[in-house]
């Protein structure tokens, strides 16, 4: 009898290689390995070959970089989505896309299940599972690493018994994930939040102390919130992010050290390096200061946070996301122009910005000739602006000296019903 088919997210690493055999034995299913290029810098055809050598009955490898940039990286940049104000969300953005593409492959092959190599402790399992459950509720979800609960030694024994290549998949001392939007590095010595990340944790960024002694300036041009050129040279997304990663990385820009609140209730110590994402977020923000009104900037901060949270929490395919995106696209319509950033030993500083839509008006701001601002109107404005406070001071705060002192109520009730 023909066996059921399952599509496995396959990275070529030890966990997912072992998973190919484990699924075969445990679930008695034929494994179709799925690998996509999100700019992680690996040869996906070689990974595909390895999947077939490891026992997958079929393997699909495809380049999804443009989808990733256009539908995930750029929108998150336009929205200003930084989780907890720091993490540009590279890993979190990749998961819903991988899961969506796997569902397509599952349909094409008539598979009844999908699988991923996430553990039971992290956010990635949530992002995969929620996306599968949303897009394809009929597909069974298998998570071998979450299910087998092995120690590393047991896993290696299983690998040895089944002749799974381990040398080529020598595990680094950290747990890492990467795509063109950034690298995530965790575990090992990094689990001690007091310890400075060793230099071997980083691959894309120069140690800021060893970065060039000369600062370098770069001009980044945006069109309605999307980056479109570097130093006046128009580039497609892949080229632009690659150039920004190299440029900012060379100057040590983009290292992030964060004690992060995972969705699953744990605080964890996360190291990221995301030179392009950090540089582009910084530059984009500066252009917003030039082109968005004060009220739009204030309101957008809450949209940025909501957007970052929903990406982090795996709720990509939600109506709230669609609604926030509608706001973001509308909000970005005047965010076009060029920002000049100076890169120097780990920092990216704005040094100039310009836009045809600039709300910075020299004729209003200047203290020199050509001033069109009406200073006499300021006096009446100040009186009305302060009226609430001056009234309150007179009749409450400053009435009879220094004003009342408050007894603050305690939020902790007495622990006996008789009270204290
Ligand atoms: N903490 C980050 C996140 O939840 C990164 C996860 C990295 N995953 C990994 N397999 N190392 O998005």
The model's pTM is 0.94
251 close to 343: Cβ distance less than 8 angstroms: yes
Asked whether 131 lines ligand 1 (CB < 6 A), one says: no
List the 182-186 sheet strands across, edge first. Answer: 175-179, 182-186, 267-273, 255-261
Q: Are 249 and 210 contacting, i.e. CB atoms less than 8 angstroms apart?
A: no
How many Å lie between the centroid of ligand 1 and the Cα of residue 185? 7
Measured from the CA of 175, which atom of ligand 1 is nearest? 11
For the residues 104-133, what does the mean pLDDT come to?
97
Which residues are CB-neighbours of 277 under 8 A, at least 6 positions away?
A: 73, 77, 88, 90, 181, 182, 254
CA 263 to chain centre: 14
pLDDT digits (tens, 9 = 90+) for 295-349: 999 999 999 999 999 999 999 999 999 999 999 999 999 999 999 999 999 999 9
Q: Concatenate the DSSP letters of all residues of 272-340 into one string.
A: EE-HHHHHHHHHHHHHHHHHS-HHHHHHHHHHHHHHHHHHHTT--SSHHHHHHHHHHHHHTTT--EEEE
Percentage of the chain modeled with pLDDT above 70: 97
Radius of gyration of the chain (CA): 27
**Residue from 250, 218, 188 nearest 342 by CA:** 218
Mean pLDDT estimate for the chain: 95
Ligand 1, atom 8, lies closest to the CA of: 177
Evaluate if residue 145 carries a pLDDT over 50. yes
pLDDT tens digits, 156-172: 999 999 999 886 545 57
pLDDT given for residue 170 in this prediction: 53
Q: Is the Cβ atom of 15 under 6 angstroms away from ligand 1?
A: no
Q: Check residue 199 and report its DSSP letter.
A: G
Q: What pLDDT is stored for residue 418 in this prediction?
A: 82
Closest CA to 78 of 285, 339, 240, 314: 285
Sheet holding 30-37, edge to edge: 58-63, 30-37, 5-9, 113-115, 140-142
Tell me, using a 6 A CB cutoff, whether residue 245 lines ligand 1: no
* Of 287 and 2, more confident: 287
- 83-97, pLDDT tens digit by residue? 999 999 999 999 999
- Is 186 touching ligand 1 by the criterion CB < 6 Å? yes
Say if ligand 1 is within 6 A of residue 313 CB.
no
Structure-block tokens of residue 254: 């983009």
Number of the ligand 1 atom closest to the C-alpha atom of 118: 10
Quote the CA–CA distance of 179 and 245 in Å, as a whole number.
11
Q: Are 39 and 65 in contact (CB under 8 A)?
A: yes
Q: Which residues have a Cβ under 8 Å from the Cβ of 79 and sit 6 or more positions away?
A: 303, 304, 307, 308, 324, 325, 328
Ligand 1, atom nearest to 185 Cα: 11
Q: How far is the centre of ligand 1, averaged over its atoms, from the C-alpha of 151 (Å)?
A: 20
Testing ligand 1's pocket by substitution, the residue of 177, 274, 311, 314 carrying the most ligand atoms inside 8 A of its CB is 177
- Mean pLDDT value of segment 358-384: 93
At 129 the pLDDT is: 98
Distance CA 184, CA 357 (A): 36
pLDDT in tens, 336-358: 999 999 999 999 999 999 999 99
* Residue identifier of the C-alpha nearest atom 1 of ligand 1: 270
The answer to whether the CB of 280 is under 6 A from ligand 1 is: no
124 CA to middle of ligand 1, Å? 7
Q: Report the share of the chain in percent with pLDDT over 90.
A: 89
Confidence (pLDDT) at 167: 64
Closest CA to 90 of 185, 208, 209, 24: 185
Q: Is 171 left (phi over 0), alpha (psi -120 to 50) or beta?
A: beta
**Mean pLDDT across 123-136:** 98
By DSSP bridging, strand 182-186 and strand 175-179 are antiparallel
Write down all domains in the chain, each with its CATH number in brackets. Answer: 5-171 (3.40.50.620), 180-292+334-362 (3.90.1260.10)
pLDDT on residue 171? 57
Active site residues: 15, 95, 124, 175
**What's the 125 CA to ligand 1 centre distance in angstroms?**
10
Pocket test residue of 12, 126, 184, 260 for ligand 1, highest count of atoms within 8 A of CB:
184
For residues 53-72, average pLDDT: 98
In the prediction, which pLDDT does 169 show? 47
Q: Residue 404's pLDDT band (boundaries 50, 70, 90)?
A: low
């Amino acid at each position: 009898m023909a066996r059921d088919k399952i599509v496995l997210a396959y990275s070529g690493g030890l966990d997912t290689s072992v998973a190919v055999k484990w699924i075969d034995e445990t679930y008695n299913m034929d494994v179709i390995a799925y690998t996509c290029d999100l700019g992680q810098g690996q040869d996906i055809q070689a990974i595909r070959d390895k999947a077939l050598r490891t026992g997958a009955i079929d393997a699909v490898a495809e380049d999804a970089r443009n989808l990733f940039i256009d539908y995930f990286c750029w929108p998150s940049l336009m929205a200003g989505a930084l989780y907890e104000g720091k993490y540009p969300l590279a890993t979190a953005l990749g998961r819903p896309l991988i899961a969506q593409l796997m569902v397509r492959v599952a349909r094409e092959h008539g598979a009844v299940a999908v699988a991923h190599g996430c553990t039971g402790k992290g956010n990635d399992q949530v992002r995969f599972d929620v996306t599968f459950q949303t897009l394809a509720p009929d597909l069974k979800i298998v998570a071998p690493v979450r299910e087998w609960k092995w120690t590393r030694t047991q896993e290696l024994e299983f690998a040895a018994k089944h002749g799974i290549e381990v040398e080529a998949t020598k595990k680094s001392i950290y747990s890492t994930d990467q795509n063109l939007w950034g690298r995530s590095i965790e575990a090992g010595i990094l689990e001690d939040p007091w310890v400075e990340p060793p230099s071997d944790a980083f691959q894309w960024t120069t140690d800021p102390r060893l970065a060039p002694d000369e600062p370098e300036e770069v001009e980044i041009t945006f069109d309605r919130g999307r980056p479109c050129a570097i130093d006046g040279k128009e580039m497609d997304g892949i080229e632009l992010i690659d150039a920004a990663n190299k440029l900012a990385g060379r100057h040590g820009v983009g290292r992030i050290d964060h004690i992060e609140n995972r969705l699953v209730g744990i605080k964890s110590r996360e190291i990221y390096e995301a030179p392009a994402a950090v540089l582009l977020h910084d530059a984009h923000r500066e252009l917003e200061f030039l082109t968005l009104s004060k009220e739009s900037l204030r309101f957008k901060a809450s949209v940025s946070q909501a957007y970052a949270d929903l990406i982090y929490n795996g709720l990509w395919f939600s109506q709230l996301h669609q609604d926030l995106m509608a706001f973001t696209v509308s909000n970005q319509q005047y965010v076009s122009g060029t920002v000049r950033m100076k890169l120097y030993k780990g920092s990216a500083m704005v040094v100039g910005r310009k836009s045809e839509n600039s709300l910075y008006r020299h004729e209003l701001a200047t203290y020199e000739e050509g001033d069109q601002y009406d200073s006499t109107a300021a006096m009446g404005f100040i009186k009305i602006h302060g009226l609430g406070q001056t009234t309150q001071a007179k009749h409450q705060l400053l009435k009879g000296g220094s004003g009342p002192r408050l007894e603050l109520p305690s939020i902790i009730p007495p622990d006996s019903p008789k009270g204290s």
